[in-house]
């Protein structure tokens, strides 16, 4: 694969995480994704994905989108 | 210092708990039932003469030298094959015995050359010792008759004479010195399990024969060295001993190759290493070794090793040799400049899984305390990071559950995505031994590895799955266990959360997880999956051993959890013979993870955001630590391409060759302003480096390694570092230059700091390791003797956690353009990127990477065995030679990644594990087509390689 931009890559990674937690149940889909990104992504990656969300959040799966909205706080 | 002499008890130790008391030479002695008289005598300090017996192999009773007299029994039985009995009265030396022994020795010597003074085994020969021990004073038979000793007899060629076989690069076979004791043959069978040697012929014609009277190199011999170690004479002898002479002192140390962590005696003459001999007290290897640890250490003195620091302004400039002072102050000023210009987080580093715990700990300390950020990672990122995450989530510890001895009690072993015969050879030998005793084996691997079928070895089930379908297959195994009610309810109710189990059981029972459905995606017949599941669940102690074929996938972490679930639901956790065991790749990759090399956690796996551990470190180190996780290797490279990451300190790791998607790694390194590589050689990464700091080998420093079974073992310095400094000293100099002072006189002080800050290491000291040899963490007040087996009375996290493992196919898919799946692995003689093994004679076994392809796929493409082929993926292309074999299934191709000119990672993509970003090395969609030779990329790379490795000649002194 080659991701055109680093935002594409982050979206892909976030959705991958989201897909795992989605299989753990509806609640975990958002909470699990949120906790995982908070624990393992460095701030510049978190800021970049938040910026991507602010710019429309193209490509983010719905539960991942919700998790990233909550990542701000 | 002197040579470490290990007592040879003659026969293996009996495991019986019942004891027997007998009298030997008037002294009472108590030993376990089943012990031989020979061993019982040795335990009280009496060595009965012997030639064919050695305690690494079972008794054989052929040399007739170890005869004894037993009261009330007729004749003179062999003490090696006669077990002790209660009340037995044994005499080891009588006139009759002495006379028989002298007679036997006289016959041996009558067909043995008398060149003792110039013999390479002089002073280290059991035949010589025994001649002395039995008082042999003359040989009455002469040498005129039939013999194996002389090339010529009566002027004509002696038909009985065989010339020396020097084909193996590391040892010679001199048949004229052979006494046909069979120790080598038995070592090859019993210890190594290869069965490459046999005795050909009968009576006087009996000869040790590799294969069907082939040369050693031409036979199935894997050059493990067990036969050489077992040989009592000079018949099998290390070439180094022949060249240098007998060693005079030895030091116990730990091998620096794979995660088995074999203990060795480094046998020395002055500062020159003569040979490495596996140490019988080593608890990981129990006196066995493989071709890498035993013989492939010549890289330490290879001419390409760089011994002086070097710097350059641009990666395209030639290198300039500088003093250590200049190299260190230049590096420090570059990092300071970059941090000033681009911010504190613009730099980072990579700790080495090849270096010691102490060195790894210091590098992460330098980054966290000296650089002031958490941008630290290690090569475990690209191998077993999913193990850390998966086992951490389910059990609560990021490591394997067993010791290697546990394999002796297993009844059903499952190997998933690993080929221990190639990558963890000493463990493979120990497992094969157990399999020959009757244990069963299940192999889950796309390829028919050496573990599936071999001499006296056949897996009960081989699940030859399509690469990328591990999660589906392991979940299908659980489906069978649950739906056929083969789970261990008592264990689950006691140790796990029952409602979580029920939730999980409901998931695995879904029809989509049934073997019949999974057969469609995995290609494994449903009945094979069912059979394997039943065997694992009901066959007694079930153990799982897995490797990178599990972790290096988009769903690597999920697969680890699926394995953990399977072991829990069958109750195969917490006692000898069972467990979940990652076979860790590098000598100290377990240690580098333990030591806090990951960007999100401190040593002992504590998240950096947790105040309590962080404050502990802050107090000890006198700094404030960043509470946010840092960048992982691949994220550092991404950030470099984006322009926010500019400098990196890489200790002992070759990311350009070993990380996936080489083009992306190059782009990242190229975008940085200061790349510092600390290594033995100008490795592939060093092409992009601005500073090269020469590193030291494991022979040149003190420290500890932690192997795959969590065993902490000492590495001991046997010679002064040829580059001037041990790696930890270089990190200390760099830290001091950066303005964060470090003061250590000896690595033991670093271990004291590790113990102070890491609960699992609390009681570990060098003194303890010197006294005990090794210890398995956790080792603290709760487990003062260490922890050979984990989760004995409950899981570390409390209740074991069942986690739903939904199969999600990777996005790396085959299609019309890329119809085949490439998977990668290792070969026995080479190690990882090959930087060390390629610089030894091991290359005679594997001079180049080959592409294994099924005859069907080859024929379709017009490819013949040995042809150059082009291997192309969405990421890149390379060329290599094809090897046509049905070890791989149709649709699957396989190669190794040991050679830089092949660069298999040009092909691999940057897909990675969802949880840890561990790259998906094991699945790449490719096309294979005939080719005329190296690709343009390879040619350009070679030219760049030549340019980037130039070292400017020193200016002549005025």
What is the 3 state secondary structure string of B283-335?
A: CCCCCCCCHHHHHCCHHHHCCCCCCCCEECCCCCCCEEECCHHHHHHHHHHHH
Cβ contact B804–A24 (<8 Å): yes
CB–CB of B554/B660 below 8 Å?
no
Any residues with CB less than 8 A from the CB of B213 and at least 6 apart, and which? B200
3-class DSSP state of B713: strand
Closest CA in chain A for residue B803:
A24
Region label for B289, one of left (φ > 0), alpha (ψ between -120 and 50) or beta (otherwise): beta
Q: Per the CB < 8 Å rule, is B600 touching A40?
A: yes
Q: Check CB contact under 8 Å for B629 and A40.
A: yes
Tell me the sheet residues that pair with B46.
none
The pLDDT score that the predictor gives to residue A5 is: 62
Query: CA of A24 to nearest chain B CA: how many angstroms apart?
Result: 6
pLDDT of the residue at A3 = 55
Show which residues on chain B lie within 8 Å of chain A, measured between beta carbons: 345, 374-375, 554, 557-558, 599-600, 607, 609, 628-632, 635, 638-639, 641-642, 644, 803-806, 808, 811-812, 874-875, 909-912, 914-917
Q: Give the one of A6, A9, A39 whose C-beta lies nearest to B629's C-beta.
A: A39
* Other beta carbons within 10 Å of B75: 7
Each residue's pLDDT tens digit, B733-777? 999 999 999 999 999 999 999 999 999 999 999 999 999 999 999
Tell me which residue in B600, B638, B811 faces A1 most closely, judged by beta carbons.
Answer: B811
Is 3.10.105.10 the CATH number for B19-133? no
Residues of chain B found within 8 Å of residue A32, distances taken between Cβ atoms: none
Name every chain B residue with its beta carbon within 8 A of the beta carbon of A36: 915
B152-301 domain in CATH 3.30.70.20? Answer: yes
Q: How far is CA A12 from the centre of its chain?
A: 8
Nearest to B829 by CA among B879, B882, B898, B881: B898
Contact between chains at A24 and B803 (C-beta distance less than 8 A): yes
Within chain B, which residues score under 50 in pLDDT? Answer: 957-958
Both tokens assigned to B444: 């889950």
Q: Dihedral of CA B151/B154/B157/B160: which sign?
A: negative
Rg over CA atoms, chain B: 29
Task: Report the alpha-carbon distance of residue B288 to residue B282 in Å, rounded.
Answer: 9
Question: Is A42 close to B914, i.e. CB distance below 8 A?
Answer: no
Residues B224 and B425 sit within 8 Å (Cβ to Cβ) = yes
Class of domain B820-947: mainly beta
Report chain B residues whose CB lies below 8 A from the CB of A42: 345, 374-375, 599, 628-631, 635
Task: Kindly report the number of other CB atoms within 10 A of residue B86's CB atom.
Answer: 9
Would you call B522 exposed, middle or buried from its count of C-beta atoms within 10 A (0-12, 13-18, 19+)?
A: buried
* Residue of B803, B909, B915 with shortest CB distance to A1: B909
Please tell me the distance from the alpha carbon of residue B581 to that of residue A33, in angstroms, as a whole number: 28
Q: Nearest to residue B147, comparing CAs of B76, B205, B98, B192?
A: B205
How far apart are the C-alpha atoms of B667 and B803, rounded to whole Å? 38
pLDDT score recorded for residue B163 = 95
What does the angle CA B23 – CA B27 – CA B33 come to, to the nearest 5 degrees?
A: 40
What are the structure tokens assigned to B105, written together? 């020795």
> CA-CA distance, B426 to B443, in Å (whole number)?
18
Q: What is the pLDDT of residue A2?
A: 45
Pick from A3, A17, A42: CB nearest B629: A42
Closest CA to B446 of B423, B461, B463, B458: B463
Domain layout of chain A by residue ranges? 6-71
CA distance B336 to B372: 11
What was the pLDDT predicted at B905? 77
Which comes out higher in pLDDT, residue A1 or B378? B378
β partners of residue B823: B894
What pLDDT does B958 receive?
A: 46
Chain B CA closest to residue A19: B808
Task: Break chain B into its structural domains and give their ranges.
Answer: 19-133, 152-301, 310-383+591-702+723-762, 385-582, 820-947
Smallest CA–CA distance from A15 into chain B, residue: B914
Per-state percent for chain A, helix, strand, coil, to nearest 5: 75, 0, 25
**pLDDT (0 to 100) of residue B957:** 47
Give the pLDDT confidence score for residue B382 in this predicted structure.
Answer: 84
Return the beta strands (E) in B379-429 as ranges. Answer: 412-416
The whole-number pLDDT of residue B907 equals 83
DSSP string, B350-361: EE-SSS-HHHHH
Alpha-carbon Rg for chain A in angstroms: 11
- Is the domain spanning B385-582 CATH 3.10.20.600? The answer is no
Distance CA(B682)–CA(B51), nearest Å, equals 48
pLDDT at B953: 74
**How far apart are the C-alpha atoms of B328 and B322, rounded to whole Å?**
10
Q: Estimate to the nearest angstrom the gap between the alpha carbon of B589 and the chain centroid.
A: 11
CB contact under 8 A, A9 and B642: no
The minimum CA-CA distance between A31 and chain B, rounded to whole Å, is: 15
What per-residue confidence (pLDDT) applies to B948?
Answer: 81
* Helices B611-621, B747-757: inter-axial angle, 10-degree rounding: 150
Other CB atoms within a 10 A radius of the CB of residue B307 amount to 12
CATH annotation of B310-383+591-702+723-762? 3.40.50.740
φ, ψ dihedrals at B246, nearest 5°: -70, 135
Closest CB to A44 among B607, B632, B639: B639
What ipTM score was computed for the predicted complex, to two decimals? 0.94
- Residue A69 above 80 pLDDT? yes
B641 contact residues in A (CB cutoff 8 A):
6
pLDDT, position A1: 40
Q: CA B289, CA B170: separation in Å to the nearest integer?
A: 14
Asked if residue B751 lies in contact with residue B764, where contact means CB atoms within 8 angstroms, the answer is yes
pLDDT (0 to 100) of residue B599: 95
Residues 6 or more apart in contact with residue B273 via CB below 8 angstroms:
B240, B266, B267, B297, B300, B699, B718, B719
- B676 forms beta bridges with B649, B691
Residue B664 phi, psi dihedral angles, 5° rounding: -70, -40
């Amino acid at each position: 694969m080659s991701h055109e931009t680093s935002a594409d890559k982050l979206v892909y990674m976030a959705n991958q995480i989201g897909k795992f937690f989605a299989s753990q149940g509806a609640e975990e889909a958002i909470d699990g994704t949120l906790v995982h990104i908070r624990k393992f992504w460095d701030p510049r990656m978190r800021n970049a994905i938040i910026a991507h969300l602010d710019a429309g959040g193209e490509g983010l799966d719905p539960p991942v989108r919700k998790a990233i909205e909550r990542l701000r706080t | 210092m002197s040579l470490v002499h290990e007592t040879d008890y003659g026969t293996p130790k009996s495991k019986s708990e019942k004891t027997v008391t007998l009298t030997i030479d008037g002294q009472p002695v108590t030993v376990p039932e089943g012990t031989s008289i020979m061993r019982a005598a040795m335990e009280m300090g009496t060595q009965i003469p012997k030639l064919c017996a050695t305690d690494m192999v079972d008794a054989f009773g052929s040399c007739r030298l170890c005869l004894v007299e037993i009261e009330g029994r007729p004749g003179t039985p062999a003490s090696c094959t006669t077990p002790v009995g209660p009340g037995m009265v044994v005499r080891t030396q009588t006139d009759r015995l002495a006379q028989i022994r002298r007679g036997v020795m006289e016959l041996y010597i009558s067909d043995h050359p008398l060149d003792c003074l110039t013999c390479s085994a002089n002073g280290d020969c059991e035949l010589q010792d025994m001649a002395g021990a039995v008082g042999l004073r003359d040989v009455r038979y002469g040498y005129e008759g039939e013999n194996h000793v002389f090339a010529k007899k009566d002027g004509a060629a002696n038909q009985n004479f065989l010339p020396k076989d020097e084909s193996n690069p590391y040892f010679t076979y001199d048949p004229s010195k052979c006494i046909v004791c069979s120790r080598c043959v038995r070592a090859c069978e019993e210890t190594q399990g290869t069965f490459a040697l046999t005795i050909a012929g009968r009576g006087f014609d009996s000869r040790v024969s590799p294969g069907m009277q082939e040369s050693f190199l031409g036979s199935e011999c894997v050059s493990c060295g067990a036969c050489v170690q077992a040989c009592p004479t000079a018949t099998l002898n290390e070439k180094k001993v022949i060249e240098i002479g007998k060693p005079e002192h030895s030091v116990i140390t730990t091998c620096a190759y794979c995660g088995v962590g074999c203990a060795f005696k480094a046998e020395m003459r002055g500062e020159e290493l003569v040979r490495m001999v596996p140490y019988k007290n080593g608890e990981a290897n129990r006196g066995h070794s493989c071709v890498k640890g035993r013989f492939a250490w010549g890289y330490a003195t290879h001419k390409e090793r760089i011994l002086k620091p070097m710097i350059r302004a641009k990666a395209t400039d030639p290198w300039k040799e500088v003093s250590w002072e200049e190299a260190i102050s230049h590096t420090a000023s570059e990092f300071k400049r970059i941090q000033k210009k681009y911010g504190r987080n613009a730099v980072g580093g990579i700790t080495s899984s090849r270096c010691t715990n102490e060195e790894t700990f210091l590098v992460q300390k330098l980054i966290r305390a000296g650089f002031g950020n958490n941008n630290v990672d290690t090569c475990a990122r690209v191998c077993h990071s999913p193990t850390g995450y998966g086992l951490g989530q389910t059990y609560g510890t990021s490591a394997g559950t067993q010791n290697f001895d546990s394999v002796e009690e297993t009844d059903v072993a499952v190997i998933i995505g690993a080929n221990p015969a190639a990558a963890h050879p000493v463990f493979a030998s120990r497992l094969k031994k157990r399999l020959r005793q009757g244990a069963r084996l299940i192999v889950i691997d796309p390829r028919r590895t050496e573990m599936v079928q071999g001499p006296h070895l056949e897996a009960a089930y081989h699940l030859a799955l399509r690469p990328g379908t591990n999660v589906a297959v392991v979940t299908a195994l659980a489906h069978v266990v649950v739906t056929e009610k083969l789970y261990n309810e008592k264990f689950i109710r006691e140790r796990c959360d029952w409602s979580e189990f029920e939730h999980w059981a409901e998931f695995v029972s879904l029809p989509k997880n049934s073997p019949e459905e999974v057969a469609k995606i995995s290609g494994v017949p449903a009945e094979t999956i069912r059979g394997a599941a039943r065997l694992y669940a009901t066959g007694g102690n079930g153990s799982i051993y897995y490797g990178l074929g599990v972790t290096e996938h988009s769903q690597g972490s999920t697969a680890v959890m699926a394995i953990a679930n399977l072991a829990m639901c069958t109750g195969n956790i917490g006692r000898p013979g069972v467990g979940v065991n990652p076979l860790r790749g590098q000598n100290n990759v377990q240690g580098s993870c333990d030591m806090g090399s990951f960007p999100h956690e401190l040593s002992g796996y504590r998240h950096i955001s947790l105040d309590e551990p962080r404050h502990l470190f802050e107090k000890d180190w006198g700094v404030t630590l960043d509470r946010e996780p840092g960048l992982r290797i691949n994220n550092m490279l991404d950030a470099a391409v984006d322009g926010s990451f500019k400098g990196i300190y890489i200790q002992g790791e070759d990311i350009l060759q070993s990380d996936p998607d080489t083009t992306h790694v190059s782009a990242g390194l190229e975008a940085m302003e200061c790349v510092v590589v600390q290594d033995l050689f100008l490795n592939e990464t060093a092409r992009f480096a601005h500073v090269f700091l020469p590193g030291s080998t494991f022979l040149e420093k003190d420290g500890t390694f932690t192997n795959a079974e969590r065993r902490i073992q000492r590495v001991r310095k046997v010679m002064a570092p040829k580059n001037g400094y041990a790696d930890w000293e270089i990190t200390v100099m760099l830290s001091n230059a950066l303005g964060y002072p470090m003061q250590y006189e000896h690595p033991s002080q670093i271990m004291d700091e590790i113990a102070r800050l890491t609960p699992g290491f609390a009681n570990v000291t060098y003194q303890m390791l010197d006294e005990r040899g090794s210890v398995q963490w956790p080792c603290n007040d709760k487990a003062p003797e260490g922890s050979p087996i984990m989760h004995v009375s409950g899981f570390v996290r409390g209740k074991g956690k069942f986690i739903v493992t939904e199969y999600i196919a990777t996005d790396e898919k085959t299609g019309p353009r890329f119809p085949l799946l490439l998977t990668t692995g290792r070969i026995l003689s080479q190690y990882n990127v090959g930087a060390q093994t390629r610089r030894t004679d091991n290359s005679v076994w594997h001079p180049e990477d080959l592409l294994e392809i099924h005859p069907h796929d080859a024929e379709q493409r017009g490819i013949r065995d040995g042809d150059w082929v082009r291997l192309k993926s969405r990421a890149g292309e390379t060329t290599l030679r094809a090897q046509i074999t049905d070890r791989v299934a149709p649709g699957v191709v396989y190669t190794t990644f040991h050679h830089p000119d092949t660069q298999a990672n040009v092909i691999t993509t940057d897909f990675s594990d969802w949880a840890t970003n561990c790259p998906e090395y094991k699945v790449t969609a490719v096309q294979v087509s005939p080719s005329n030779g190296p690709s343009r990329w390879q040619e350009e790379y070679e030219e760049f390689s030549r340019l980037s490795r130039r070292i400017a000649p020193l200016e002549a002194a005025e």
